[in-house]
Chains A and B, each alone.
Chain A
Amino acid sequence: MNKQPKHIENKTFLADWLAEKITDKELQEFVSPEEFLTYKKMQQAFDLLEKPTFNTTASFTELKTKLPKKQTVTKKLIPNWVYAVAASFILFLGIFQFLNASIEYKTDIGQTQEIALNKGTTILLNAKSSVAYSKYQNQRNISLQGEAFFKVTKKGLFTVQTSHGSIEVLGTEFNVISRKNFLEVICYEGKVAVTSQNKTWTLLPNNAWRSIKGKTETWSTDQTSASWLDGESSFKSTPLLFVLQALESQYAVQLIVENLDQNILFTGSFTHNNLDKALKSICLPLGLEYETNDASSIVLSKL
């Protein structure tokens, strides 16, 4: 038996034994019988060791939520040509938007704004109003909602578009009020052509024109400029409805009308810097009274 040499040369007999390169019997040549029994016991215990278990599929589902999104592009669910079409469409839209891009100015209740356009034209925008014009066309075609005073230089045709008609001018000063069912134009200088419902009116200085619910009328005024520029709104035989609308655009209040004909006509003016005074200026001539309900609502009724 060559026990001795084997013992010397094999320094990994336990590893060999576990890998079944050497037998139980051969192992006993290296260790004592008691030790052999212990190793045998250990070997059996190793077989009872359990593989850690977990749910790989569930962990993959979890992982998917953590993966960066950018990679999903590589799926190519959408063929490249779709991108090309989409890109051209967006480009087309972009050009369309570019050409149609408009600049808009808007004022809130009680605010006014002065807007300088090219060629020396100025727009003074009254409260709760807006003007807009195309960014890339000449700034001489304006759309208006609310009230504005225009000073236009004589450098080409200038047009104001409203929902009720258009106003064409050539070097003038004029005021326009455009509200629902209401369009009023007063010319202070030069010449103004108003076109509404396929009809055209020519206004000379101090001529005023108005259309209320499609009914038009003209009159003359002795004012040399729009009164609102001096902090006052003035009216000439204007239905109460529109006067109150003007009041609401100057003061942050809600007007409630009780048993009142809103078509009664009002001639006069109200100031922009004192609500109480303004209310009195409207109510007294018309024989009305007003009552402040709470901070922001006022009830108007017959005396």
Chain B
Amino acid sequence: MVHKDLISFGTSLHQQLMSEFYKTENICKDKIFERIYLEQFSLLRNFLYYKFGNSENAEDITQNAFIKLWENCKKVKPSKAKGFLYTTAINLSLNAYKHQKVVLNFNTNSVKRVENETPEFQLIEKEFQIKIDNAIAELTEKQREVFLLNRIEKIKYADIAEMLTISVKAVEKRMHSALLLMRKKIGKV
């Protein structure tokens, strides 16, 4: 499976300006390359993590994708850099993640918690959060990437659809089935 021409979120004014900027620039320039890196690294790395569930691999593969981009900096137009990175990263991942167990770990944000909870309540909450983590790990790859891109990265269904070159309907179906499956895995509350 090879993903092609992935990724272009929306068309805000900023992005239009950026694409104008990219048209005239060359990735081989250090400044441009660094800019693309700082803009794209985080999401690409998280995307691989959500999809394949291995944090270290995600980071290594993202770096390797950027090395490939650098090596091909003369051939890839800046406007295509994002697509190139995702395609490369996914292709690199397909071999790396074969036979790998999904290991996800989302440390829950304790800051958001209400202060005046009893320790007992906190413990129950903690247990529930662990159940959620486990349920996420048991989602299918397709369900998980959609679910986490939406829930953690706060990317809208329409933009995820564009990113993965699937229909919005398909994203919604994956999302829905992800929730049903998680509900099942959590069991009695």
Contacts and interface: CB of A to CB of B under 8 A. Distances in A.
B70 A67 contact: yes
A118 interface: no
A11, A14, A68 interface centre (most CB from chain B within 10 Å): A14
Interface in B154-189: 156-157, 169, 171-173, 175-176, 179-180, 182-183, 186, 189
A50 B129 contact: no
A38 B183 contact: yes
A96 interface: no
Interface residues of B, number: 48
B183 A60 contact: no
Interface string B126-139: 00110010000000
Interface on chain B toward A: helix, strand, loop, or mixed SS? Answer: helix
Contact of A12 (B37, B150, B176): B176
A25 B71 CA distance: 54
A51 B130 CA distance: 16
Given A52-B49, A71-B28, A14 B180 contact: yes
B99 interface: no
Contacts of A74: 26, 28-29, 73
Contact of A52 (B30, B46, B66): B46
B28 A46 contact: no
A19 interface: yes
Contacts of B30: 75
Interface residues of A, number: 35
B14 interface: no
Contacts of A67: 67, 70
Contact of A15 (B73, B153, B179): B179
Interface string A113-148: 000000000000000000000000000000000000
A18 interface: yes
Nearest to A72: B30
B179 A41 contact: no
B89 to A, nearest CB: 14
A64 B106 CA distance: 29
Given A13-B176, A16-B172, A52-B49, A59 B132 contact: no
A10 to B, nearest CB: 9
B132 A62 contact: no
Nearest to A13: B176
A54 B186 contact: no
A49 interface: yes
Interface string B2-41: 0000000000000000000000001011100010011001
Given A15-B172, A41-B189, A50 B109 contact: yes
B41 A60 contact: yes
A48 B172 contact: no
A16 B128 CA distance: 23
A137 to B, nearest CB: 49
A140 B46 CA distance: 77
A48 B112 contact: yes
A42 B129 CA distance: 9
Contacts of B38: 56-57, 60
B46 A47 contact: no
B172 A71 contact: no
A45 B55 CA distance: 21
13 contacts: A14-B180, A18-B151, A19-B175, A37-B189, A38-B186, A39-B183, A48-B109, A51-B46, A52-B45, A59-B63, A63-B66, A68-B67, A74-B26
Interface of A: 11-16, 18-19, 35, 37-39, 41-42, 45-52, 54, 56-57, 59-60, 62-63, 66-68, 71, 74-75
Q: Which 3 A-B pairs have the closest CB atoms?
A: A15-B175, A12-B172, A14-B179
Given A18-B151, A52-B46, 10 more contacts: A35-B183, A46-B151, A48-B113, A49-B151, A50-B109, A56-B42, A59-B63, A60-B41, A62-B63, A66-B63
